[in-house]
Amino acid sequence: MPKNAPFELGWEEWLSLPDLGLPAIKAKIDTGAKTSALHASVIEPFGPPANPQVRFLIQPDPNDPSLEVTCSAPVVDRREVTSSNGVTELRYVIETVVEMGTRRFPIQLTLSNRETMTYRMLFGRGAIQPDMVVDANESFRMPELSYDLYKGLPKKTPVKRPLRIALLTREPNNYSSRRLVEAARARGHVIETIDTARCYMQIGTLYPTVHYDGKALPRYDAVIPRIGAKITDYGMAVLRQFSNTGAFCLNGAGSIGRSRDKLLAQQLLARANIAMPVTAFAHSPKDTKDLIDLVDGTPVVLKLLTSTQGRGVVLAETRKAAESLVDAFRGLDADFLVQEFVAEAAGADVRAFVIGNKVVGAMKRQAQKGEFRSNLHRGGTASNIRLTAAERDTAREAAKVLGLNVAGVDLLQTSEGPKVLEVNSSPGLEGIEKATGKDIAALIIQHVERQVRPLSRDREALGRPSRRINVN
């Protein structure tokens, strides 16, 4: 087309709406209508009042209802629109970019869900550019597109859409929570902090919901669990319920349970041939001597299984000390373990931060002088460290065996290679972000974005009451 020639449109044209993730739409160019419209279904508003957004489903090919694309866009207005059949409805108005041939320009579209529309889009005269002329006797003056452009699209280039995320935590103001909220908002998502303990729910309904302060919570695309050790069981139940509503749970209830139960975690890791310090478990053994022999004698480390932040972890250098500690633990009626003391770790351990089968950062924690526990809460200091391939593989494998998408894997460095101490399902962000200088919170949110299934598939599960109960 020579320059300055009028831009000629026929009465039907192919165009694309790239920001909505729609590479090909056949539109009716309708000079009789002022407003342009997009035929959408399951139109669902979301987002805070200051930044309202709308999510909807569109079936771009009128002959293939199985082709569904989930779109979302900022709402610029709501407008009363009377359609050609005389029905007036309040419609959302969105603004997006339209591409016709080489031309790109912004367009306002109302969203309507009239099932009978033959064209998925009406291109009204309000959208016609000054140099455009419409020849009502012609069609397809623009380059021809095809619905084949949708093939494989959701997988290869997932449509970027704002997600509604719940951060399940009892501590909305701690560093990790604040960072996750910040990172999610910076990437355009809507995130709310939900206090795990205040959630309640009805079990056994076909439309599972989670209730909170007298109301049913909305449906979330994703839930990021940060469940404290004190309410692991209840937190897991809440998480299972969220999972049944179709939300993607960053770490599933099952995997959190496996990592929190230290006996189970160690057994699962051992079964997967992951190296760990030699460990013996006990509850109330009669034979203290034999228990200590199981780990080749002193020095040994004794750990209460309920320990966090190194609190219930003690070193017994002599057999006498070890025996009196075992006696004391027995009196507590608690599960504990006796572990070979890895002296060569020299008061240091390594925390590998795993997201989605990848180690995204690692730090070495060094205990204070005279202390073997390197926990930061015990005065340990952290520094960035580059892991060996073996250390990376061990960390990834440990998270995988327990089924955790996000995990903090603690390793001791030994001459025989890395040995796993513990796998944490709610690893803190402060130490690792400060030591590595990396935006770990953003990496977590990016992982969530990649994992959330396209809305259309979720819809299917929700629309028809599903009996598929997800127990993970």
Could you tell me if 409 and 399 are in contact, meaning their C-beta atoms sit under 8 angstroms apart? Answer: yes
Q: Which of 447, 444, 453 is nearest to 155 (CA)?
A: 453
Residue 373 interacting with ligand ADP (CB under 6 A) = yes
Residue 313 interacting with ligand ADP (CB under 6 A) = yes
> Given the complex with ligand ADP, which of 277 and 418 has the nearer CB atom?
277
Site string for ligand ADP, 103-142 (x = CB under 6 A): ----------------------------------------
Residue 322 interacting with ligand ADP (CB under 6 A) = no
194: three-class secondary structure by DSSP: strand
Residue 349 interacting with ligand ADP (CB under 6 A) = yes
Q: Compute the least distance from the CB of residue 379 to ligand ADP, in Å.
A: 12
- Which of 162, 246, 252, 277 touches ligand ADP (CB under 6 A)? 277
- Candidates 135-143, 228-236, 337-345, 446-454: pick the segment binding ligand ADP (CB under 6 A): 337-345
Q: Compute the least distance from the CB of residue 412 to ligand ADP, in Å.
A: 6
> Given the complex with ligand ADP, which of 308 and 446 has the nearer CB atom?
308
Q: Are strands 417-424 and 121-124 parallel, antiparallel or unpaired?
A: unpaired
Q: Compute the least distance from the CB of residue 305 to ligand ADP, in Å.
A: 9
- Candidates 13-21, 108-116, 250-258, 302-310: pick the segment binding ligand ADP (CB under 6 A): 302-310
Q: What is d(CA 71, CA 78) in angstroms, rounded to the nearest whole number?
A: 18
Residue 421 interacting with ligand ADP (CB under 6 A) = yes
Q: Please, what is the angle between helix 253-260 and helix 389-402, to 10°?
A: 110
Q: What is d(CA 35, CA 376) in angstroms, rounded to the nearest whole number?
A: 61
- Which of 165, 201, 301, 441 touches ligand ADP (CB under 6 A)? 301
- Show the tokens assigned to 380: 């340990």
What is the DSSP code string of 195-242? -GGGEE--SS-SS---EETTEEPPPPSEEEEE--GGGHHHHHHHHHHH
Residue 372 interacting with ligand ADP (CB under 6 A) = yes
Q: Which helix (H) or strand (E) holds 192?
A: strand 190-194
Count of residues near ligand ADP by CB under 6 A: 24
The count of C-alpha atoms lying within 13 angstroms of the C-alpha of 400, restricted to the half-sphere facing its C-beta, is 14
Contacts 24+ apart (CB under 8 A), 176-185: 176/226, 176/426, 176/428, 176/429, 176/430, 176/441, 177/226, 179/429, 179/433, 179/440, 179/441, 180/224, 180/226, 180/429, 180/441, 180/444, 180/445, 182/441, 183/439, 183/441, 183/442, 183/444, 183/445, 184/445
- Candidates 29-37, 199-207, 245-253, 367-375: pick the segment binding ligand ADP (CB under 6 A): 367-375
Identify the bridge partners of residue 422 per DSSP, sorted by sequence position.
410
- Candidates 57-65, 165-173, 289-297, 310-318: pick the segment binding ligand ADP (CB under 6 A): 310-318
- Which of 81, 342, 398, 441 touches ligand ADP (CB under 6 A)? 342
Judged by CB under 6 A, the chain residues 375 through 414 that form the site for ligand ADP are 375, 410, 412
- Which of 41, 83, 308, 451 touches ligand ADP (CB under 6 A)? 308
Q: Compute the least distance from the CB of residue 401 to ligand ADP, in Å.
A: 18
Q: Compute the least distance from the CB of residue 372 to ligand ADP, in Å.
A: 5
- Candidates 52-60, 186-194, 370-378, 396-404: pick the segment binding ligand ADP (CB under 6 A): 370-378
> Given the complex with ligand ADP, which of 246 and 428 has the nearer CB atom?
428
**Residue 367 DSSP one-character state:** P
> Given the complex with ligand ADP, which of 19 and 422 has the nearer CB atom?
422
Rounded alpha-carbon distances, angstroms, from residue 28 to 25, 84, 274, 358:
10, 14, 62, 48
Q: Compute the least distance from the CB of residue 291 to ligand ADP, in Å.
A: 15
150: three-class secondary structure by DSSP: helix
Q: Please, what is the angle between helix 262-271 and helix 253-260, to 10°?
A: 100
Could you tell me if 142 and 14 are in contact, meaning their C-beta atoms sit under 8 angstroms apart? Answer: yes
The one-letter amino acid at 93: V
- Which of 92, 248, 329, 341 touches ligand ADP (CB under 6 A)? 341
Residue 274 interacting with ligand ADP (CB under 6 A) = no
Which residues of this chain interact with ligand ADP, rule CB under 6 A? 277, 301, 303, 307-311, 313, 339-342, 345, 349, 367, 372-375, 410, 412, 421-422
